[in-house]
Amino acid sequence: MDEETRQATPASGTPRPAAPCSLLSLEPDVHRYFARLARAYGPLFSLRLGTRLCVVLSSPAAVREALKDHDVIFANRDPPAAITAFPRAQHGLHWSPHGIVWRTLRKVTVREFISGGGNEALRSLLRREVRRAIARLRAREGEPVEVWELVFTTAYNVLTSMLWGGLSEDGDVSVEFRAVVEGVIELLQAPNVSDFFPALVTLDLQGVGRRMKRMWDRYDVYWEKFVEEGGRRGEEDERKGGKAFLQGMVEVLERREQNDPLTMDHFKALFMELIVGGTDTPFPRSPRPERFLTAADDKYEFSGNNFAYLPFGSGRRICVGISLAEKMVTHLLASFLHSFLWQLPEGEKLELGERFGIVLKKAEPLVLAPTARFDDPDLYTPTSELTGTRHQLSILHPRRSREEQRFEMKLAVPLLLLAVISAAASAVSAAHPKVPAVYVFGDSTADVGNNNYLTGTDAKANFPHYGVDFPHQTPTGRFSNGYNTIDYLAINMGFKRSPPPYLAVVNKTQPLILKGLRGVSFASGGSGILDSTGTTITMTKQIQDFAAHKSNIAARVTAVVAKGLLAKSIFLISSGGNDVFAFFFATNGNATADQTEQFYSVMITNYTTHLKALYDLGARKFALINVPPVGCCPISRVMHPSGACLDGLNALTKGFNDRVSVLVKNLSSEMEGMNYTIGNSYNVVNDIVSDPAGAGYTDVSSACCGSGKLGAEVMCSPNTTFCTNRNEFLFWDRIHGTQATSEKAALALYDGASEYASPINLKQLVES
């Protein structure tokens, strides 16, 4: 041992670990604690952790001496209590003692899984799974994605397909087996008092052994299914020129002689280790990607010969799957970086804290929002040539021919890992939301897709030609050719677009959504202020859904923090038009004055109830959008002999809007801390109708998409036509405005004069 390793001089004033049981001084971040002790006492020191003696090596020289010069001595591993409590779990490559069983198992693994056919299978499966992952990401463009979950799922599908031929593709077996894998990982990394006091293993004080046995019993059930299915697939796979690892293992057992040490239990344990090891990914503690560009070629060589950098270990116990890991990581990350721009979602900050476990992980999962780089789906499919040459990958380039699109990227595994983190860090300044979140309630003027998830209603816009001007020409459920007014208001507040529909995220677990740092849209086309209006999601139900969402927020960030977030967020309501329509046509436009006043009274009473309910749930900043002159919609004009606006319907609308203004003014004086703006969409649309040319329109009476008189007799659908000069039309369909109209309206409501927003505009409310 060299002089550096032999001498360890304690730093002055550094407290020594508690004695005789150093366990008392152990800190949760064990890796940081050991690093601090190494700086104080030198690169070689020991601790008494419970009844176990722990020797810590922290210099390349000491590590080399242990793992290279004396690797036979250090070739055995000390299994944790979660493993020793259940002997069959010790039969795999990772925990087997160094000897003939371990050597034979390693040889078979390399021959059947790593070399030759394993590399070829990996190439094919990676291409397939990456294509599927990219397709899923494209469908969720702009939404927050948990990066670990994305990588785990892709790697899990690749590994299980390689191991037993693709049972992970679908079905309940895949979901249940994945839960077993995650359960095993959790048990292995959970703190266990028996690891420090081995005499307590038989007592199993924390129940880790019992839980591990239950996991293994479940694994046995799935294993039998895998073997049975693998046998049926064996001949078919061989005809295709390959076979799953399981089939190879079965053949090894069939050929084995009497003295061969391997049994099915060895392979069963090995399979679990391969999946756990291939999916439980680490997180670099010091993300400095520039070091890989400026360092000597071999400084960050990771094959076990650079003892200052051993992500895969070294010596006899080095990870046997380095070559597969290298190909998988480079291909996954290069493909994801090539296909999408990655940013932190609105309102999120990059957290680099880590959590100690089997491997070092981020304490808070990395959540990023992908933005597609290309419109052509073919450009999302890397034409991979995963060669044996280290760090090389061929991938399509977006601006060149298919022949010219092949180029080599010399990318080290650590550089690619850190590139994602670096990209996220550089994106911190890219999004600057001015409020924590936007919560949206209302009807089709605000719906961004909730109705897509409903049955029994035709109030949907998830089909062409809706969305013709949305990115990728996607019909999202917005009642528009592209973005709606809520999208543009959100953009003005620093977000990318409207928050996602509640029904699209209610069962998701992305931390961003559950913390409420972006917001959610509860709006449902066809609904109204009255629960009797429409057959979709009523306003009462929308508020109930928000209450449930608030509970999720409070459960994760505490009630106090949630209260602060909600108080600063914007609660945007756009509703009432459907109620006005329903009343007007129910009375054939001939309602008496008493009937009209009764309608107004019921509407205001219900609106009051809704606003107070939101206030009680924490809302303080209200942005209300009043009802536009619906008598000028094409569906109304078509009922007039000359195609003019229905003045009676507009008068009914204006009367309701006036009463809402009085209501909110009174409520703001009663409810402490309430601030509000009323966006006057009535005046915005009325001014456009009064002076179309001045607003840049050539048609303010017809629907761009539809057919019949004024394009309003048949609703917009794949069977109708739509105009090419959409920016010159006030209306997209027979009720809703075009994207151009939404953009103009949002600008007026956000930063307009008092005739369009009062008593303050939305910008002033945001900044208040």
pLDDT in tens, 284-317: 444 455 454 445 555 556 677 777 777 777 777 7
In the predicted model, is pLDDT for residue 338 greater than 90? no
Contacts within 8 Å (CB) and 24+ apart, 470-473: 471/141, 471/372, 472/138, 472/141, 472/372, 472/375
| Higher pLDDT, residue 633 or 258 | 633
Measured CA to CA, the distance from residue 580 to residue 649 in angstroms comes to 8
**Picking from 415-424, 432-441, 598-607, 738-747, which range would have the lowest pLDDT averaged per residue?**
415-424
331 a catalytic residue: no
What pLDDT does residue 425 have?
Answer: 40
What pLDDT does residue 406 have?
Answer: 36
- Residue of 339, 444, 524, 702 with catalytic role: 444
What pLDDT does residue 70 have?
Answer: 79
| Higher pLDDT, residue 733 or 395 | 733
pLDDT, mean of residues 111-118: 60
What are the phi and psi torsion angles at 41 (to 5°)? -115, -5
Contact of 722 with 731, CB cutoff 8 Å: no
Q: 620 vs 506, 563, 738, 766, CA distance in Å?
A: 24, 10, 31, 11
Contact of 424 with 350, CB cutoff 8 Å: yes
- 345-369 pLDDT per residue, tens: 766 667 766 666 666 666 677 888 8
In the predicted model, is pLDDT for residue 120 greater than 50? yes
Q: 742 vs 13, 63, 737, 738, CA distance in Å?
A: 67, 65, 6, 6
* CB within 8 Å of 106: residues ≥ 6 apart: 93, 320
Q: Alpha carbon 353 to chain centroid distance?
A: 19
Q: 510 vs 148, 434, 502, CA distance in Å?
A: 11, 22, 13
538-568 residues labelled b (16+ CB within 10 A) or e (exposed): bbbebbebbeebbebbbeebeeeebbebbee
- Residue of 94, 331, 549, 736 with catalytic role: 736
In the predicted model, is pLDDT for residue 741 greater than 90? yes
- Can you tell me whether residue 268 is helix, strand or coil? helix
What are the phi and psi torsion angles at 348 (to 5°)? -95, 145
- Residue of 204, 280, 487, 733 with catalytic role: 733
- For the chain, give the mean pLDDT: 78
Confidence of residue 391 (pLDDT cuts 50, 70, 90): very low
What pLDDT does residue 124 have?
Answer: 74
- 208-261 pLDDT per residue, tens: 888 888 887 887 777 776 666 655 554 455 444 455 666 666 666 666 665 677
* Residue 313, Ramachandran bin (φ over 0: left; ψ between -120 and 50: alpha; else beta): left
Half-sphere exposure of 133 (CA within 13 A, CB side): 30
| Higher pLDDT, residue 64 or 384 | 64
| Higher pLDDT, residue 36 or 253 | 36
| Higher pLDDT, residue 322 or 418 | 322
In the predicted model, is pLDDT for residue 390 greater than 50? no
Q: Where in the chain is the domain with CATH 1.10.630.10?
A: 87-326
Taking alpha carbons only, the member of 581, 568, 516, 578 closest to residue 546 is 516
Single-letter amino acid, residue 256 = R
Q: Where in the chain is the domain with CATH 3.40.50?
A: 438-767
What pLDDT does residue 398 have?
Answer: 38
In the predicted model, is pLDDT for residue 168 greater than 90? no
Confidence of residue 139 (pLDDT cuts 50, 70, 90): confident
What pLDDT does residue 593 have?
Answer: 96
Q: Which two tokens stand for residue 190?
A: 């959970």
What pLDDT does residue 445 have?
Answer: 98
Contact of 85 with 213, CB cutoff 8 Å: yes
CATH number of 87-326: 1.10.630.10
- 527-547 pLDDT per residue, tens: 999 999 999 999 999 999 999
Confidence of residue 335 (pLDDT cuts 50, 70, 90): confident
| Higher pLDDT, residue 599 or 66 | 599
Q: 262 vs 91, 101, 252, CA distance in Å?
A: 9, 7, 9
- 62-111 pLDDT per residue, tens: 888 888 777 777 777 778 877 776 666 677 767 777 778 778 777 777 76
* CB within 8 Å of 360: residues ≥ 6 apart: 31, 282, 283, 284, 285, 354
CATH classification of 438-767 is 3.40.50, yes or no? yes
Taking alpha carbons only, the member of 565, 672, 556, 579 closest to residue 626 is 579
What pLDDT does residue 358 have?
Answer: 61
Task: Read off the DSSP letter of residue 377.
Answer: G
What pLDDT does residue 99 have?
Answer: 78
Percentage with pLDDT > 90 across the chain:
38
71 a catalytic residue: no
733 a catalytic residue: yes
Contact of 543 with 610, CB cutoff 8 Å: yes
pLDDT, mean of residues 667-695: 96
Contact of 98 with 316, CB cutoff 8 Å: yes
Q: Is residue 680 exposed (0-12), middle (13-18) or buried (19+ Cβ within 10 Å)? A: buried
DSSP state letters, 628-696: --GGGSHHHHTTSTT----HHHHHHHHHHHHHHHHHHHHHHHHSTT-EEEEE-HHHHHHHHHH-HHHHT
Half-sphere exposure of 324 (CA within 13 A, CB side): 28
What pLDDT does residue 475 have?
Answer: 94
